[in-house]
C-alpha cells in the first residue's frame, strides 16, 4: 500500500497545484478575497503532500519492494542501506519526483514566511509557481510514474549503476537539485512582478534570499560533482566541459549575475528590467540543462537516466515556460520603469560589467554545448571541448576578474578611480611581480600564467575592503562577499597550478618496482584480492614517500560488481597541503606486470577548497540578509504598535 499511498499523495498535490493556479489567476483577473485566501494554504498543503509522496518512494527503496518497477530496476537486496536510499533519486523517475518535491516545498515555504511582497504580487508569484509545478506533475503522472507496479514481482533487483554507488553521488544530486529548482522561485518572482508591474527594491529584497539559497546549493553541488568525477571516474581530471557539467554551470553563471543584479536593485533601485530578465534566464538554463541530461540527445559520462521520448516532454515544458515568460517580458518590460541612474565609475557600474561578462561566458558555454546538435542535423559529427571553451571563455573571464578586483573598492552611485588609485596600483604591482616571477622561473602556458597572477591579485583585492574597518561590527553580508571573492581566487590558483605543473606517469610495473612522479617515490608492493558488500576487487598495495619522507600506504582497486555486472577503477589519493598524489590500478599484462597510472597534481585540492569558500561566503551573506530583514521587520512592527497606541490614547483623550 505504500506505493498506492505515494501515488495518491502525488495526485492530490497535483490537484492542489491546479487549484492554486486557477484561484491565483482569478484573483489577478478579478479581486476575489475568498479565492485569495485559498492560494497560500493550497501551496503549503501541496508541499506537504509532495514530500509525503517522495518519503513513500524512499521507504519502498529501503524495504526493497521488488513489486515496484522502479525499485526492481534500480536496487538490490544486498546493496548497502545508504545506496538503497540514494537509489530513490539515482534514476529518471525518482529524480523528477525529487525535483517536484523541492519545487512544491519551496512554494509552500514562500506562502508561509514571505510577507514583504504586496499581496497581489505574492498571489501572482504562487500562481506562477503552480503553473511550473503542474507541468512536472503531469510529466510524472502520465509519462514517468515512479510508483508503477510490476506483476509478477521481480525475484531480485537489478541494482544501481556502480558509478552511483559512491557517497559523493548519494548527496550530490539532491544538493544540485536544490539549486536547480530553487531558481524556479526566482522565475516565479519575476513572472509575478511582471504581472503586477511591482518591480521594486522590496521585490528584490524578497527574491534575493531565495536566489542566494539556490546559488549556494548550486555552488556546493557543482564543487561536489567535480570532486566526484575527479576521484571516481579514474581519469585524473576535474572538469572536461562535458555537456552535463555545462548543464550545471550555465544556471550557476546566470544565478551569479542575477544575485548581483538583485543586490543593485535592492540597494539602489536600479537594473529593474535586467533583474527580471535574469530571473527568467536563470531558470531557463535549469530547464535546458534538464532537457540535455534527460533526453539522451548528447553523449555524456554523467547521463545515467536518458530517454528521448520523455526528453521531448521536457522540451515541450521548456518551450511552454520560457516562451510564455519571454512573451510576458516582451509585453510588460516597457512598462517597468528604468530605475535610478548611476555613474559608470561606481560599484553598480562594476557589477554591470561583471554581469555582461558572466552573460557572455554563459552564451559561449551554451553555444559550445548545443553546436554539436546543430552540426549533427547536417550529418556532421563534431565534438566541442577545452580547445574551444578555455581560450574563448577566458576572453571575458580574465577581464571580469580585473573588474572584480576593483569593484568592491568603489562607492555606490558615483566614484572616481583617483580615490582608489593607491589600492589599484598595489594590486597591479603584486600581479605583475607574480607574473614576472613565474614567467622567468617556469615555462608554462599563457592561460595558467595569467591565472596564477590574477588569482594572487584577486586574493589581495578581496581583503582590501576590510582595511580600516571595525571587523567585529562588519555586516555579515560584507564578510560573505570577502569570503566568496577570496574563494574565487583560491579556486583559480588551484586550477592554474594543476594545469601548469601536473606530472603524469603511466607504467607497466612489477611488484617491488619503484616509480618516480614529481617529488614522490612510489613502490609497487603487491596486488591482493579483497571483497565488499556487493563487489570483489583486486587491490594494489603502494608505498609512497614525498621527497624522501616517511612512506604512506595507497590502495587503488579494480572492482567487479555482480549486479549489475560492471568493472570500475577506484583511485587512491594521498593529500598534502600543496597537492595530491593520484594512483589508478589497471589490468595485469604479460610477465606479471600491472598497468599503473600516477599523477602528482600540485595544489589541485585548492580548487574544491575555493568552491567551498565561495559557498560559505554565500551562506554568510544569506544569514546576514535574513537577520537584517528580521530586524527591519521587528522595527516596523514596533513603530506600528507605537502609532496604534498613540492613536488610541488620542482617541481616548
Per-residue confidence band for 357, with pLDDT thresholds at 50, 70 and 90: very high
Mean of the per-residue pLDDT values of the chain: 89
- The predicted-structure confidence for 413-438, as pLDDT tens digits, reads as follows 888 888 888 889 999 999 999 999 99
Percentage with pLDDT > 70 across the chain: 97
Nearest by Cα to 444 from 507, 380, 498, 521 = 498
Separation CA 226–CA 75 (nearest Å): 25
- pLDDT(4) > 90: yes
- Choice between 521 and 415, residue whose per-residue pLDDT is larger: 521
* Residue 59: predicted pLDDT: 96
Number of other residues whose CB lies within 10 A of the CB of residue 11: 15
- pLDDT(636) > 60: yes
| pTM (two decimals) | 0.91
Where residue 173 falls (left for φ over 0; alpha for ψ -120 to 50; beta otherwise) is alpha
Per-residue confidence band for 215, with pLDDT thresholds at 50, 70 and 90: very high
Highest mean pLDDT among 20-29, 73-82, 451-460: 451-460
Per-residue confidence band for 144, with pLDDT thresholds at 50, 70 and 90: confident
- pLDDT(638) > 90: no
List Cα–Cα distances, 510 to 183, 524, 590, in angstroms: 53, 7, 10
Vertex 332, ends 328 and 333: CA angle to 5°?
Answer: 105
Per-residue confidence band for 345, with pLDDT thresholds at 50, 70 and 90: confident
The alpha helices in 30-147, defined as continuous H runs, are 33-62, 69-74, 81-86, 92-113, 119-142
Please state the rounded mean pLDDT for residues 561-573: 85
DSSP 560-593: EEETTEEEEEE-EEEEETTEEEEEEEEEEEGGGE
Separation CA 156–CA 147 (nearest Å): 18
Instruction: Record the cell numbers describing residue 273, joined without a space.
Output: 528590467
Where residue 554 falls (left for φ over 0; alpha for ψ -120 to 50; beta otherwise) is beta
Least confident of 237-246, 307-316, 322-331, 445-454: 307-316
Per-residue confidence band for 307, with pLDDT thresholds at 50, 70 and 90: low
- The predicted-structure confidence for 495-512, as pLDDT tens digits, reads as follows 999 999 999 999 999 999
- The predicted-structure confidence for 276-302, as pLDDT tens digits, reads as follows 999 999 999 988 888 777 766 655 544
- pLDDT(600) > 70: yes
Tracing cell 512536472 back to the chain, one arrives at 136
- The predicted-structure confidence for 168-200, as pLDDT tens digits, reads as follows 777 888 898 899 888 999 999 999 999 988 888
List Cα–Cα distances, 608 to 127, 206, 495, 579, 614, in angstroms: 38, 31, 10, 12, 10
* Residue 306: predicted pLDDT: 52
* Residue 253: predicted pLDDT: 96
* Residue 337: predicted pLDDT: 66
Identify the three-state secondary structure at position 554: strand
Q: What is the largest CA-CA distance in the chain?
A: 106
- The predicted-structure confidence for 535-557, as pLDDT tens digits, reads as follows 899 999 999 999 989 999 999 99
- Choice between 222 and 561, residue whose per-residue pLDDT is larger: 222
* Residue 368: predicted pLDDT: 93
The strand order across the sheet containing 572-576 reads: 503-509, 593-602, 579-589, 572-576
- pLDDT(308) > 70: no
Phi, psi of 520 (to 5 degrees): -100, 145
- pLDDT(531) > 60: yes
- pLDDT(303) > 60: no
Which residues is 529 bridged to in the sheet? 538
Per-residue confidence band for 610, with pLDDT thresholds at 50, 70 and 90: very high
286 neighbors 251 (Cβ within 8 angstroms): yes
Which residues is 553 bridged to in the sheet? 543
Please state the rounded mean pLDDT for residues 556-575: 88
DSSP 150-185: -SSPPSS-----GGG-SHHHHHHHHHHHHHHHHHHH
Please state the rounded mean pLDDT for residues 247-260: 94
- The predicted-structure confidence for 315-330, as pLDDT tens digits, reads as follows 888 889 888 888 888 8
Amino acid at each position: 500500500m505504500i506505493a498506492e499511498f505515494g501515488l495518491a499523495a502525488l495526485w492530490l498535490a497535483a490537484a492542489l497545484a491546479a487549484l492554486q493556479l486557477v484561484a491565483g489567476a482569478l484573483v489577478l483577473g478579478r479581486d476575489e478575497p475568498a479565492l485569495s485566501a485559498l492560494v497560500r494554504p493550497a501551496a503549503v498543503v501541496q508541499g506537504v503532500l509532495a514530500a509525503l509522496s517522495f518519503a513513500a518512494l524512499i521507504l519502498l527503496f529501503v524495504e526493497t519492494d521488488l513489486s515496484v518497477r522502479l525499485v526492481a530496476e534500480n536496487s538490490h537486496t544486498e546493496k548497502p542501506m545508504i545506496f538503497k536510499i540514494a537509489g530513490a533519486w539515482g534514476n529518471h523517475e525518482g529524480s523528477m519526483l525529487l525535483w517536484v518535491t523541492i519545487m512544491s516545498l519551496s512554494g509552500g515555504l514562500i506562502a508561509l514566511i514571505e510577507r514583504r511582497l504586496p499581496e497581489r504580487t505574492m498571489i501572482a508569484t504562487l500562481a506562477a509557481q503552480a503553473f511550473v509545478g503542474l507541468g512536472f506533475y503531469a510529466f510524472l503522472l502520465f509519462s514517468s510514474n515512479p510508483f508503477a507496479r510490476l506483476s509478477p514481482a521481480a525475484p531480485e533487483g537489478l541494482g544501481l549503476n556502480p558509478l552511483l554507488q559512491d557517497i559523493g553521488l548519494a548527496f550530490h544530486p539532491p544538493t544540485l537539485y536544490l539549486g536547480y529548482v530553487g531558481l524556479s522561485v526566482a522565475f516565479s518572482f519575476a513572472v509575478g512582478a511582471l504581472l503586477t508591474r511591482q518591480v521594486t527594491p522590496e521585490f528584490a529584497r524578497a527574491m534575493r534570499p531565495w536566489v542566494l539559497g539556490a546559488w549556494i546549493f548550486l555552488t556546493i553541488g557543482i564543487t561536489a560533482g567535480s570532486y566526484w568525477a575527479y576521484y571516481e571516474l579514474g581519469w585524473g581530471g576535474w572538469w572536461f566541459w562535458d555537456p552535463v557539467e555545462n548543464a550545471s554551470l550555465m544556471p550557476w553563471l546566470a544565478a551569479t549575475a542575477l544575485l548581483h543584479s538583485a543586490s543593485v536593485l535592492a540597494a539602489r533601485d536600479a537594473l529593474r528590467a535586467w533583474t527580471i530578465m535574469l530571473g527568467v534566464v536563470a531558470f531557463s538554463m535549469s530547464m535546458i540543462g534538464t532537457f540535455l541530461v534527460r533526453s539522451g540527445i548528447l553523449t555524456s559520462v554523467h547521463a545515467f537516466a536518458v530517454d528521448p521520448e520523455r526528453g521531448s516532454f521536457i522540451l515541450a515544458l521548456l518551450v511552454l515556460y520560457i516562451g510564455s515568460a519571454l512573451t510576458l517580458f516582451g509585453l510588460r518590460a516597457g512598462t517597468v520603469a528604468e530605475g535610478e541612474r548611476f555613474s559608470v565609475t561606481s560599484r553598480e557600474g562594476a557589477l554591470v560589467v561583471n554581469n555582461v561578462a558572466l552573460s557572455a561566458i554563459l552564451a559561449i558555454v551554451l553555444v559550445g554545448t548545443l553546436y554539436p546538435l546543430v552540426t549533427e542535423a547536417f550529418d556532421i559529427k563534431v565534438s566541442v571541448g577545452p580547445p574551444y571553451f578555455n581560450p574563448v571563455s577566458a576572453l571575458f573571464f580574465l577581464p571580469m576578474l580585473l573588474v572584480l578586483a576593483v569593484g568592491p573598492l568603489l562607492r555606490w552611485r558615483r566614484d572616481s578611480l583617483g580615490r582608489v588609485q593607491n589600492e589599484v596600483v598595489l594590486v597591479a604591482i603584486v600581479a605583475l611581480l607574480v607574473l614576472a616571477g613565474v614567467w622567468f622561473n617556469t615555462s608554462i602556458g599563457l592561460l595558467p600564467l595569467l591565472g596564477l597572477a590574477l588569482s594572487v591579485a584577486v586574493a589581495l583585492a578581496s581583503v582590501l575592503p576590510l582595511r580600516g574597518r571595525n571587523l567585529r561590527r562588519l555586516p555579515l553580508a560584507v564578510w560573505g562577499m570577502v569570503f566568496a571573492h577570496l574563494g574565487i581566487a583560491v579556486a583559480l590558483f588551484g586550477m592554474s597550478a594543476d594545469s601548469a605543473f601536473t606530472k603524469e606517469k603511466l607504467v607497466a610495473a612489477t611488484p617491488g618496482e619503484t616509480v618516480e612522479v614529481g617529488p614522490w617515490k612510489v613502490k609497487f608492493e603487491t596486488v591482493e584480492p579483497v571483497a565488499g558488500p556487493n563487489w570483489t576487487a583486486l587491490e594494489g598495495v603502494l608505498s609512497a614517500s614525498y621527497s624522501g619522507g616517511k612512506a604512506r600506504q595507497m590502495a587503488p582497486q579494480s572492482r567487479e560488481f555482480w549486479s549489475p555486472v560492471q568493472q570500475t577503477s577506484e583511485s587512491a589519493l594521498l593529500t598534502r597541503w600543496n597537492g595530491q598524489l593520484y594512483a589508478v590500478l589497471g589490468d595485469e599484462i604479460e610477465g606479471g606486470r600491472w598497468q599503473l597510472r600516477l599523477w602528482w597534481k600540485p595544489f589541485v585540492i585548492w580548487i574544491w577548497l575555493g568552491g567551498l569558500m565561495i559557498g560559505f561566503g554565500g551562506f554568510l551573506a544569506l544569514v546576514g540578509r535574513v537577520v537584517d530583514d528580521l530586524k527591519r521587520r521587528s522595527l516596523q512592527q514596533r513603530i506600528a504598535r507605537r502609532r496604534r497606541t498613540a492613536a488610541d490614547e488620542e482617541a481616548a483623550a
